[in-house]
């Protein structure tokens, strides 16, 4: 072997060794980050340091415009140029992307198609451009570079660039998939936020009585601020719904909304649930766990049934409300949080303060902005609207159209509703189940256990004006009129027939056809 061939063989071996080392560094860069721009820049730097590439560029296709945008650039003299674009088919870069093939130029100055948009390539040196191909997508970009030396190994260097382009293609594909999933998650998050805001907006709070209009006005005002709110009212009046409305119409709407029913847990579990615990703090604490206050940082925490907590735990809760700080169980490290407090109770806290069952300082800390929710009995005029709203809610749950009749609403309005709106919702759901046709009428309502409460006509004193009989109510349908007559006649058909100017046979026929259940007194 001559001396010249030995040198040539040695040089080829050195080239292969440098390319293998460059591939190793490129693969490490590609596995380091999901930031595509940062990754491409790192690949070009590796090609410069280990791959004898003086200047390099990566350009990727923009799907919307069809143009090729420079996403990575490296040069010993210049770096950081971006937003440079090539139109489809423009210059060597556009040709490579359009034809999907590698182009090798021995001397840039001799190539008429070369467009020097970046102004960094040396006209006397070679140029290598290879397509970046992603599976069935085809060419999606170009890897271009200029070797730092002129030698006889341009074909070998071109194959090396093709291997690097294949590695880049996998990162581009992964980056696109991650970006697609990220966008889908973002869209889903935004959709859920819109849904939640819609579900807990003011439009979903039904009521037109003066008491409810006052509550709505108070909610709109208090939602703007970080004031602590104490929602007072009987069980089933919608205290949690009001808490939701306050949060989702407040500046903290993008923060977490964390709920806890204080009556559901004993003191030891309540402390762990609210403040969290460290690993090994007690038997069964296998891992560190953040408490509800920590989870709600930057948002709102809703403490339902706050009147149920013991006096011993009230002191621990008071510190969080006053200072906004606490320690996890088993830790001495103080944690500070920024949390808005909304609490709710159906108990008479004032009486419990007098009896020593509820701490006075905690009471005043909670009772900054009290909201008193009226019972359904106090706003019975809202029942028709509430009933129709709840029937639509049940309709969505059951996936079929439902409607409630006026006769059913009249029966509902005669009930005392000790369970408030929650009892009304349960009643309507049961009535919907009992209604095969989807029409919730008087019969469907009475099948749920709601009794028809038509009061008998009271006897008027001698000097008093005559009391109007229920039979004179023009809004009563035929079935209601017959029931009212039967009630007034003590469920004696003959007497009821006389009240209605009917024969006993006629009223018996109506009772049978209208399916009126007779009572025996």
Q: What's the rounded mean pLDDT across residues 451-466?
A: 44
Identify the pLDDT of residue 257.
93
d(CA 516, CA 510): 8
Identify the pLDDT of residue 10.
42
In total, the chain counts a number of residues equal to 521
d(CA 439, CA 520): 29
Transcribe 397-424 into DSSP letters: HHTS--EE-HHHHHHHHTS--TTHHHHH
490: which residues sit within 8 A by CB, 6+ positions away? 521
Q: What's the rounded mean pLDDT across residues 49-54?
A: 73
Identify the pLDDT of residue 458.
40
**425 pLDDT band (50/70/90 cuts)?**
very high
d(CA 394, CA 425): 8
Identify the pLDDT of residue 472.
63
Q: What is the pTM of this model?
A: 0.61
d(CA 244, CA 222): 13
pLDDT in tens, 347-392: 999 999 999 899 999 999 999 999 999 999 999 999 999 999 999 9
Burial 243-259 (b: 16+ CB within 10 A, else e): bbbbbbbbebbebebbb
* CB-CB contact of 500 with 513 (8 Å): no
The tokens describing 90, both together, are 């423009």
Stretch (H or E) spanning 308: none
Tokens 């709505």 map to which residue? 216
**508 pLDDT band (50/70/90 cuts)?**
confident
> For the chain, what is the largest distance between any 2 Cα atoms, rounded to a whole number of angstroms?
142
Please give the C-alpha separations between residue 311 and each of 233, 363, 376, in angstroms, as whole numbers: 22, 12, 32
Tokens 């009249």 map to which residue? 410
Tokens 């209009």 map to which residue? 213
**462 pLDDT band (50/70/90 cuts)?**
very low
Identify the pLDDT of residue 500.
85
pLDDT at 101 over 70: yes
Identify the pLDDT of residue 246.
93
**DSSP 8-class letter at 460:** P
Identify the pLDDT of residue 204.
67
Secondary structure class of 8 (helix, strand, coil):
helix
Q: What's the rounded mean pLDDT across residues 170-183?
A: 84
**DSSP 8-class letter at 117:** S
Nearest of 25, 47, 13, 38 to residue 162 by alpha carbon: 47
**455 pLDDT band (50/70/90 cuts)?**
very low
145 or 233: which carries more pLDDT confidence? 233
Percent of the chain beyond pLDDT 70? 86
Q: What's the rounded mean pLDDT across residues 142-166?
A: 84
53 or 370: which carries more pLDDT confidence? 370
**Of 139-143, 243-247, 465-469, highest mean pLDDT:** 243-247
**200 pLDDT band (50/70/90 cuts)?**
low
């Amino acid at each position: 072997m001559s001396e010249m061939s030995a040198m040539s063989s040695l040089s080829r071996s050195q080239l292969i060794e440098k390319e293998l080392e460059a591939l190793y560094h490129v693969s490490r860069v590609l596995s380091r980050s999901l930031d595509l721009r940062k990754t491409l820049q790192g690949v070009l730097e590796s090609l410069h340091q280990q791959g004898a590439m003086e200047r390099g560029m990566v350009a990727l296709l923009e799907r919307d415009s069809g143009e090729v945008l420079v996403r990575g650039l490296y040069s010993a003299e210049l770096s950081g140029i971006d937003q440079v674009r090539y139109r489809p088919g423009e210059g060597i870069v556009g040709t490579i992307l359009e034809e999907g093939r590698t182009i090798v130029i021995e001397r840039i100055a001799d190539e008429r198609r070369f467009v020097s948009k970046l102004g960094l390539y040396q006209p006397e040196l070679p140029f290598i451009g290879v397509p970046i191909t992603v599976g069935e997508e085809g060419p999606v970009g170009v890897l271009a570079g200029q070797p730092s030396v002129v030698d006889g190994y341009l074909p070998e260097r071109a194959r090396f660039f093709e291997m690097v382009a294949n590695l880049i293609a996998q990162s581009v594909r992964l980056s696109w998939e991650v970006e697609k999933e990220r966008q889908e998650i973002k869209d889903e998050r935004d959709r859920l936020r819109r849904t939640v805001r819609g579900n807990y907006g003011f439009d979903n709070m039904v009521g037109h009585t003066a008491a409810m209009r006052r509550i709505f006005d108070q909610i709109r005002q208090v939602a703007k601020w970080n004031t602590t709110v104490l929602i007072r009212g009987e069980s089933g009046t919608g205290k949690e719904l009001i808490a939701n409305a306050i949060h989702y119409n407040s500046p903290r709407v993008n923060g977490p909304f964390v709920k806890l029913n204080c009556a559901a847990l004993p003191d030891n579990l309540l402390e762990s649930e609210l403040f969290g615990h460290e690993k090994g703090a007690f038997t069964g604490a296998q891992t560190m766990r953040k408490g509800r206050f920590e989870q709600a940082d930057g948002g709102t925490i809703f403490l339902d049934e706050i009147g149920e907590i013991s006096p011993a735990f009230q002191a621990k809760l008071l510190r969080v409300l006053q200072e906004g700080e606490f320690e996890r169980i088993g830790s001495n490290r103080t944690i500070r949080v920024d949390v808005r407090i909304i609490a709710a109770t159906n108990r008479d806290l004032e009486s419990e303060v007098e009896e020593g069952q509820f701490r006075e300082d905690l009471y005043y800390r909670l009772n900054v902005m009290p909201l008193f929710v009226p019972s359904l009995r106090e706003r019975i005029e809202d029942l028709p609207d509430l009933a129709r709203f709840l029937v639509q809610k049940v309709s969505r749950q059951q996936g079929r159209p439902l409607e409630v009749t006026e006769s059913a609403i009249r029966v509902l309005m005669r009930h005392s509703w000790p369970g408030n709106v929650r009892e009304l919702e349960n009643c309507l759901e049961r009535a919907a189940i009992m209604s095969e046709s989807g029409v919730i009428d008087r019969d469907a309502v009475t099948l749920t256990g709601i009794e028809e409460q038509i009061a008998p006509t009271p006897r008027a004193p001698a000097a008093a004006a005559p009391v109007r009989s229920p039979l004179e109510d023009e809004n009563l349908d035929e079935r209601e009129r017959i029931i009212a007559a039967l009630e007034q006649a003590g469920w004696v058909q003959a007497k009821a027939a006389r009240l209605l100017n009917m024969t006993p046979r006629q009223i018996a026929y109506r009772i049978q056809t209208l399916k009126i259940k007779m009572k025996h007194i």
